[in-house]
Structure 1
Amino acid sequence: MSPGQIAALVAAGAFVLLVLFLAIVLIKLGRALDEMTIAIRKAHENSDPLFAGANTTLNHVNTQLERVDGITSNARAVTGNVSALTSLFTATLGGPLVKAAAFSYGVSKAVRARRKRKAEAQAEGRHSRRRGGKR
């Protein structure tokens, strides 16, 4: 055998080994693709109930949001009514009530001052009688 024929046999053997290696890799890749296909199919079959449940949940959430919207609009109306009532009360009764409160405060302060002066005068009269003189 000549060296060219030996090199050709080595090259042919290497090519056979390469083909076998690629065949093993392709078989494993095919199995992996089959498993992925099965997993995707199962996920697709199980996704329909999930989407139906999510749709039902979203419908309930939308219903509750509509109720909350109604409640907030009613609360807004009540707030406006209370504000208007407060303004009306302040305009009609606020001024006279402030004047009446100021008047009663002034009267009570004057009465206290008068009682205090009267008590001081009585105390001074008792004190001067003890010393024996009049003032």
Structure 2
Amino acid sequence: MTLGGIAGLIAAVAFVALVGMVAVPLWKTGRVLDELRQTVHDIGEESVPILTELQDTVRVTNGEIGRIGQVTDEVAVLSKNAAALSENAAQVSGLLTHAVGTPVIKVASLAHGIKAGFTGGRRRPAELEQEA
């Protein structure tokens, strides 16, 4: 063997070692890519049922929101009617007070006037001091 042959053999062994060193990271990268492909495939298969369930949930929620809107409208009408009823009750109470209260006050005043007329409308000084 000549010096050139030995140098070629050393270069060939170095090249094989270099290829071996580069092959290990490439092989690991290939495994990582395979795992990534499998993960993407699994996510695709699992996301379809989740999205279908989410779509059903959104549909039910929209229906419930519509019902809440109807209930809110009905409560607004009920509140408006209750306010009108309260106002009407206040008016009736005022009318009743005026219709019943005024004659009662007049009768009481008349009775007091008649009593004062019979007693002469005079009070004794002791009675005045006791009332004050």
Per the normalisation by structure 2, the TM-score is 0.59
Structure number with higher relative contact order (C-alpha < 8 Å, ≥ 6 residues apart):
1
Distance apart, 1:89 and its partner CA: 4.2
Determine which of 85, 93, 100 is the counterpart of 1:78: 85
Gaps of 5+ in 1: 108-135
Q: CA separation in 2, counterparts of 1:14 and 1:95?
A: 114
Q: Does residue 57 of the first structure (1) align with residue 64 of the second (2)? A: yes
Q: Match of 1:62, as an amino acid? A: G
2:42 aligned residue = 35
1:38-90 Cα offsets, whole Å, 9 max, x none, are 12222223333323322322222222222211111101111122233334445
Unaligned runs of 5+ in 2: 1-8, 116-132
- Letter matched to residue 48 of structure 2: R
Q: How does 1:40-119 map to 2 (within 5 A)?
A: 40-91=47-98, 93-94=100-101, 100=108
For residue 41 of structure 1, what is the amino acid of its counterpart?
Answer: V
Equivalent residue pairs, number:
102
- Determine helix, strand or coil for the equivalent of 1:29: helix
Q: What is the CA RMSD across the aligned residues, in angstroms?
A: 3.0
CA spacing shift, 1:78–1:15, aligned 2, 3 Å? same
The 3 A distance-change label for structure 1 pair 36 and 95 is same
